[in-house]
């Protein structure tokens, strides 16, 4: 059984996960659940897009076998209180963890609950949320859950913009601006592959480029070790660029392998 947990407002990125599951598994289960415990910003939760009728159509067309559409009570029968919050340490405290306090704990809480309910053989998650899938890998290890994690590459618009449910909240001008996110990551990739380039310089240039654009507020633009998310020392390490920006009040993230 393959499992694709989502928060709905499905797009081709989600469908790529369904397709990957259908390729590897006899039965594909998708869940749609906008998890209250992973939103540190109430207005982000309140404005999260809900398009359930269209989601059901897309899942049927993609050949998904089961849709699990639980209520909050079903996932959290005893409320949101956790006896012992998770402690993933460094990897959950940096980048997204630093800008969205509590987010990864809430995310891990719901993923653990969904895995216990669904009991899949394989869990499919997107590279789009790179730090998230690293932490889920740790969760699976820590809790000794018998599920394998498979990461599916990010699906992008023709413009390069990573598909995201939050893109539906961007107007035309913001969409235009959002293209600069993947462009900046691509440019970092080109620069890093120049033997003379210095990791720090490339990172600083990326952040400066984004902060110089009117309408984009970058939160971070970082080059990290792709396995550990540590600050890299050498270019022989596997490097990944990760960024989060706000455009018109909408928070967008993206990442790209650089070498």
Catalytic residue among 11, 14, 24, 103: 14
Tell me if 152 contacts ligand AMP by CB under 6 A. yes
Task: Give the residue with the Cβ less far from ligand AMP, 129 or 222.
Answer: 129
Among 9-17, 64-72, 172-180, 214-222, the segment contacting ligand AMP (CB under 6 A): 9-17
Site string for ligand AMP, 71-110 (x = CB under 6 A): ----------------------------------------
DSSP state letters, the chain: -EEEEE-SS--HHHHHHHHHHHHH-S-EEEEE---GGG-SSHHHHHT----HHHHHHHHHHHT--EEE---HHHH-TT-S--SS----THHHHSTHHHHSTTHHHHHHHHHHHHHHHH--SEEEEEGGGHHHHHHHHHHHHHTT---EEEEEPPPB-TTSPBP-GGGGG--HHHHHHHHHHHHHHHHHHHHHTSTT--HHHHHHHHHHHHHTSTTEEEEEEEEEETTT-PPPS-TTS-EEEEEEEEETTEEEEEEEE--
Position 16 contacts ligand AMP (CB under 6 A): yes
Using the rule CB under 6 A, which residue among 114, 145, 161, 162 binds ligand AMP? 162
Q: Note if 24 is an active site residue.
A: no
Of 17, 135, 181, 216, which one interacts with ligand AMP (CB under 6 A)?
A: 17
Q: Is 14 in the site for ligand AMP (CB under 6 A)?
A: yes
140 binds ligand AMP (CB under 6 A): no
Cα dihedral 242, 102, 78, 109 in deg (nearest 10):
30
Options 77-85, 108-116, 150-158, 176-184: segment touching ligand AMP (CB under 6 A): 150-158
Please pick, from the candidates 15, 29, 155, 239, the single residue that binds ligand AMP as defined by CB under 6 A. 155
Residues 115-134 that bind ligand AMP (CB under 6 A): 125-126, 128-129
Would you tell me which residues interact with ligand AMP (CB under 6 A)? 6-7, 13-14, 16-17, 125-126, 128-129, 152, 154-155, 162-165
């Amino acid at each position: 059984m393959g499992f694709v947990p989502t928060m709905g407002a499905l797009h081709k990125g989600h469908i790529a996960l369904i397709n990957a599951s259908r390729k590897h598994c006899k039965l594909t289960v998708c869940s749609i659940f906008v998890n209250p415990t992973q939103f540190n910003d109430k207005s982000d939760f309140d404005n999260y897009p809900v398009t359930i009728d269209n989601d059901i159509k897309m899942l049927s067309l993609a050949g998904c076998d089961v849709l699990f559409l639980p209520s909050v009570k079903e996932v959290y029968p005893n409320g949101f209180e956790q006896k012992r919050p998770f402690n993933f340490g460094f990897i959950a405290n940096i980048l997204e963890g630093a800008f969205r306090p509590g987010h990864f704990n809430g995310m891990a809480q719901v993923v653990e609950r969904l895995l216990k309910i669904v009991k899949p053989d394989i869990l499919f998650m997107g590279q789009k949320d790179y730090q998230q899938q690293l932490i889920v890998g740790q969760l699976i290890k820590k809790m000794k859950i018998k599920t394998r994690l498979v990461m599916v590459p990010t699906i992008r618009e023709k413009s390069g913009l990573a598909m995201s449910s939050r893109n539906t909240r961007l107007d035309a001008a913001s969409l235009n601006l959002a293209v600069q996110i993947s462009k900046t990551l691509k440019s970092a990739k080109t620069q890093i592959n120049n033997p003379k380039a210095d990791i720090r310089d490339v990172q600083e240039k990326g952040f400066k480029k984004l902060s110089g654009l009117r309408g984009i507020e970058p939160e971070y633009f970082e080059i990290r070790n792709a396995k550990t998310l540590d600050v890299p020392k050498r270019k022989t390490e596997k490097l990944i660029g990760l960024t989060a920006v706000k455009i018109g009040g909408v928070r967008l993230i993206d990442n790209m392998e650089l070498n």
